[in-house]
Amino acid sequence: MSQNVKSFNEYRVIQITNDLLKYVNNAACNAVTAHEVEVGLWDRILEIGRTGLQCFFDKVGTGDLGESVELSDGRGIARIEEKSEREYKTVFGKFTLTRATYGVTEKQMIELVPVDTRLKLPEGKYSYLLQDWDQSFAIENSFGHTNEIIQRILKLGQSVDSLERMNQKMAIAVEEFRDNKEVFSPETEGSIIVVTADGKGIPMKKEVIEKPIANHKTKGIKLNKKQIAIVGSVYTIDPLVRTPEDVIRSLFATQKDCEYSNDRPRACNKNLYASLSYEENGKQVDAGEKIFSLLHEEVLLRSVHTLVPTILLMDGQRSLWELGKKYLPCDRIEILDLLPVTPRLWMAAHLYNKEGSKEAEEFVEKYLLLILQGKVEKVIREWKNLGIKNNLRGNKKASLTKICKYLLKNKNRLRYDEYLKNGYPIASGVIEGACRYFIKDRMERAGMRWTIDGAQAMLDVRSVFLNGDWVEFQKFRIKKQEEKLYPHSEMIEMTEWPLAA
């Protein structure tokens, strides 16, 4: 750019700033509404930002360091005659940067772009701040809605495809970030480690070859239309000693009547992960194996300071229990989540009592108390006797048999009397809630269909946000990208830079 254009942009920054102050004074004198002033100020602030950033780029110039440059490794490279242009989109709008470039010969690949190196520009055309803002919206909203929001705020249009690609590129840094993440301070941790996992379907764009885990077809999930993502979580919590009667009161009484409800310990430092089964470097990565390896690594890190019990708290899905056995410590305490147990008690109650009746509620309360007291076999025995007494036949008899088999199969995970005495959690809304807000609220909206790569990228990036690591993750990935893109940055920093006048 010419000297006149540079001087003009510098002048414009001052002029727009002065106009802003005049606008405020005029608005105050003419009784302009606060809303109108806010809109007017924002438009002017965007204009100041656009002009100021253009002024900055003008000052930096093209990065012409002379006919030749010596690189950090001692090699000499020559300036390429024709300058290169680069599109650069920021929160203040789109810019075109004209840059000097250097290589061994005119026809060989460019080895150095001084302006890019000095400014540490990102790999693509979107600024790091714009990427941050785009994806901060995209992890909670559809890409189309994200574009509408950003366009309304910044007056900057972007395509849905570009936002999707941005999300996938950002996700590449998640695994390395996890590997380098600092361990939680022991002072912020509870005294019990809890591991939990479950499966949740994600609607896919095309037929899915992989079968759901252990051929398990969850209610509402149709084969070849959804693929199961495994969601896992690790958190710590302090013990809460209770009696079976305490639990019964909390389940069958109002919140007001529940004496200890407000004193319940809260989950500390909850981390969430989710994965689909996918192919990587020609090899199939199993979703369950991936998640439980992450859970295993975190348990090791979080138990390094002190010996604390590790609890595996899940529903009755056998494949997940097998993964827990494979990856978690041999002294883990396996607990069947009470949440999927109670619906089965209601199913049993309705075999003998009318739905919605007082008798059905009393049935559930009676036998749930027995289960909480560790008397699972007694429950099964009494139910079978009731079946004979009531002459159950057909579907009712089959349902009773199925419920009893479920309880008997999980008998060693139903020692609730011991768990309550030791203050262990026996029911957790953590994983159920995670499947809802982690997967369903973002991935299962009307009309949404995902590719494997797109869905996994969103799961990875979304997990970083939900785990409270967004700001640190952005710093980490920017630093890593700068190290990768600009090996000669130290040399450029030591070079006398030809700033424009």
Which residue matches tokens 């930002």? 49
Q: What are phi and psi of 97, to 5 degrees?
A: -100, 125
Residue 131, CA atoms < 13 Å, CB-side half-sphere: 24
Residues near 484 by beta carbon (within 8 Å), at least 6 away in sequence: none
The one-letter amino acid at 424: Y
- The pLDDT tens digits for 255-306 are 445 454 557 899 999 999 999 999 988 999 999 999 999 999 999 998 876 6
DSSP 126: B
Nearest-angstrom CA–CA distance, 242 and 239: 10
Q: Which residue has the tokens 């242009």?
A: 85
Q: Which two tokens stand for residue 206?
A: 């095309």
Beta strand pairing call for 192-203 and 333-336: unpaired
pLDDT by residue for the chain (501 residues), tens only, comes to: 444 555 678 888 899 999 999 999 999 999 999 999 999 999 999 999 999 999 999 999 999 999 999 998 889 999 999 999 999 999 999 999 999 999 987 676 899 999 999 999 999 999 999 999 999 999 999 999 999 999 999 999 999 999 999 999 999 999 999 999 988 998 999 999 999 999 999 999 865 555 555 555 544 444 448 999 999 999 999 999 999 999 999 888 754 454 545 578 999 999 999 999 999 889 999 999 999 999 999 999 988 766 689 999 999 789 999 999 999 999 999 999 999 899 999 999 999 999 999 999 999 999 999 999 999 999 999 999 999 999 999 999 999 999 999 999 999 999 999 999 999 999 988 898 899 999 999 999 988 999 999 999 999 999 999 999 999 999 999 999 999 999 999 999 999 998 886
Convert the pLDDT of each residue in 70-81 to its tens digit: 998 889 999 999
Q: At what angle do helices 143-154 and 160-171 cross, to 10 degrees?
A: 110
DSSP label at 437? Answer: I
- Within the chain, what is the greatest distance between any pair of CA atoms? 100
Closest among 113, 121, 116 to 90, alpha carbons compared:
121
Position 461 scores a pLDDT of 98
**Cα–Cα dist 126/279, whole Å:** 29
SS3 115: helix
Judged on CB neighbours under 10 Å (0-12, 13-18, 19+), 302 is buried
pLDDT number for residue 222: 47
CA distance 233 to 294: 9
Say whether 309 sits in a helix, a strand or coil: coil
The DSSP secondary-structure symbol of 317 reads -
* Residue 232 burial (C-beta neighbours within 10 Å; 0-12, 13-18, 19+): buried
Q: Are 229 and 274 in contact (CB under 8 A)?
A: yes
Instruction: Please report the pLDDT score of residue 305 as a whole number.
Output: 66
pTM of the model: 0.88
Predicted pLDDT of residue 385: 94
